Chain A
């Protein structure tokens, strides 16, 4: 599903965010990328749907090269890839339903999209997506009225409305409290298991990573420093990823309540 081969990303500011990164992700996998802020996790995720262009190397998603994709191909890749953000990125001044419907834009003609001419099917798909994350009763509420956890569930519903083959979640719980974090992670995991959608999640909480990941990829300073099943990962590996001695406090961050 995803093949990265020697991918480098250098930003115009000179930051070398990804250094010779190679990675394969199989269909239906639930992959968690962990690492400090600034380790290159977000950049990796964004190269997958072309929001960030790789400077060199090959990024293949759905067996299509993202870096050199035509506008139309890139649209297709994006429309098959749902994305969930740390800050939810909802349009707060409009309703939840309108936010979820934007997930349909990739499938629609630009003309229909521009004038918000949603079909009955689009609306049904959006409502189903809301039901999937148990928030359909808020469909006609303004997004700004929702709590953080609810907003993120709407974010998940927007991604689901795309009927994607791949979901990218960029620090989906970093701005939520521990209890809500677990709820949101449960939904993301449930979607992966029930709908079989390949999921790549960025996390910086160790506990969440340990509890939800099947396979874990550790990044440090733009390099992949660990790649393997979660059952094999040791505290020593985590120290490599975070580049320093870990104390008991680091693990207590998100202990189950």
Chain B
């Protein structure tokens, strides 16, 4: 009796499923390998290429006066400052723009269903456009350079904040808002005295994180012509100045690590 009961009645079915899925995964992989033309011979010489690039990255005179480090300190500093400026300014502007947008597009805080519905629809459609699209639009409309970078950073960060913060607002306890509404306060005043006060520390912490993120983004979008350090990397890469590229990447790594430590520190302080 027990012998019968301990047998999973779905055993054969499960095995069939396992077989089917394994077959599908193998088949899909196989088709992919054939289509891409994956072949072990194609990897030949990769290691030599890699070593060659590394030797170009760090030539003998790397730390000398004519070397890349000194070049970076002389020339790249301006571009770095530009990147930080784009990121900082962009995220500050975006944080200011995004707050009311989020308040309008959360179920809890939107003044009515029409505003809520239309905000959600428009933002969700726009958000699906890839980030690269906005940079290309901005650089074609405004020309290459830091202003286009600034505009694209503002757009990205606004969308990211919308995504993260509107959901935070949705999940908030509606009680305090109801309580303040019940005192006879008008709509905007009740928001200020309940939801906004409750959620402000969370928002500031998010903003600090956005500053960190936007400086990273502004370094990357420079590669497609939006100013700052990214643009400089692109120029040096075109001229095969690999040692200069590596010194910039090194400095960028240091900058990002420093930013991350700083922002984590500030955020934990705010949210305490």
Contact = CB atoms under 8 A, between A and B. Distances in A.
Interface of A: 49, 51, 74-83, 85, 87-94, 98, 102-107, 110, 113-114, 116, 155, 158, 162
A114 B191 CA distance: 9
B185 A94 contact: no
B17 interface: no
A105 B198 contact: no
Contacts of B193: 91, 98, 102, 105, 113, 116
B185 A113 contact: yes
Contacts of A75: 184, 186
B198 to A, nearest CB: 5
* A81, A93, A113 — most chain B CB neighbours (10 Å): A113
Nearest to B195: A91
Given A110-B188, A114-B188, A92 B178 contact: no
Given A91-B176, A102-B183, A113 B198 contact: no
Contacts of B182: 49, 51, 78, 81, 83
A51 B175 CA distance: 12
Contacts of B183: 78-79, 82-83, 102-106, 158, 162
A116 B197 CA distance: 12
A64 B175 CA distance: 26
B176 A90 contact: yes
A91 B197 contact: yes
B181 to A, nearest CB: 7
Closest 10 CB pairs of A and B: A106-B184, A79-B184, A89-B175, A78-B184, A105-B185, A89-B179, A113-B189, A83-B182, A75-B184, A110-B186
A102 B185 contact: yes
B188 A76 contact: no
B201 interface: yes
B180 interface: yes
Nearest to B191: A114
Contact of A85 (B175, B188, B192, B201): B175
Contacts of B181: 51, 78
B234 interface: no
Contacts of B192: 113-114, 116
Nearest to A114: B189
Contacts of B200: 93
A102 B176 CA distance: 11
Contacts of B178: 51, 85, 89
A106 B185 contact: yes
Contact of B175 (A74, A87, A110, A116): A87
Interface in B148-181: 173, 175-176, 178-181
